[in-house]
Each structure stands twice: as structure tokens, then as C-alpha cells.
């Protein structure tokens, strides 16, 4: 996760709450959540007038 953040120039804030004794399953949820967030962040949203959800208005 650290390598991903460094190589894509992103800042990630991850908080793992709970997860019980199964760290493997908990971390799978973390990676899946990141994947869903990245997918959402790179979609053009028709409700925003066809703009990407970025404060810069572009995705580099
Ligand atoms: Mn598994």
C-alpha cells in the first residue's frame, strides 16, 4: 500500500477498525475499498456536468 501511494503520488488515509483475528480478510477489505474508491474517483459523473470528481477539474 505504501509503494502504491508513493508511485502514484497519492496520499492515503487508511484506518483499520476491528477485523477480528483474521488480518488477511480485514486487509482484503482495505484493498477492495481502495479499488472501489479509485474506480469512483476516475468515473465521469453526469450529475456533475460530465466533469471528473476532482477539485482541479482534471485527472493527471
Ligand atoms: Mn483471501
Q: Where are the domains of the chain?
A: 30-60
Which residues, listed in sequence order, are joined to residue 51 by a DSSP beta bridge?
A: 45
* pLDDT at 54 > cutoff 80: no
Residue 52 has pLDDT above 90, yes or no: no
Query: Tens digit of pLDDT for each residue in 6-50?
Result: 998 888 888 888 767 888 888 898 899 999 988 888 887 788 787
Residue 47 Cα, ligand 1 centroid: separation in angstroms?
36
DSSP codes joined into one string, the chain? -HHHHHHHT----------TT-HHHHHHHHHHHHHHHHHHHTS-BGGGTTB-S-TTSS--
21 CA from centroid of ligand 1 (Å): 14
Ligand 1 mean position to 15 CA, how many Å? 19
User: How many angstroms separate the CA atoms of 9 and 53, rounded?
Assistant: 17
Say if pTM beats, i.e. exceeds, 0.85: no
Q: Would you state the pLDDT for residue 7?
A: 94
Alpha-carbon distance of 42 to 56, in angstroms, equals 13
Cα 36 to averaged position of ligand 1 atoms, centre (Å): 17
Q: Is the pLDDT of residue 53 over 80?
A: no
Between residues 28 and 52, the one the model is more confident about: 28
Amino acid at each position: 500500500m505504501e509503494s502504491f501511494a508513493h508511485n502514484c503520488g497519492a496520499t492515503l488515509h487508511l484506518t483499520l477498525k476491528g477485523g477480528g483475528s483474521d488480518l488477511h480478510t480485514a486487509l482484503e477489505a482495505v484493498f477492495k475499498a481502495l479499488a472501489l474508491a479509485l474506480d469512483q474517483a476516475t468515473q465521469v459523473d453526469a450529475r456533475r456536468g460530465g466533469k471528473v470528481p476532482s477539485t482541479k477539474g482534471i485527472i493527471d
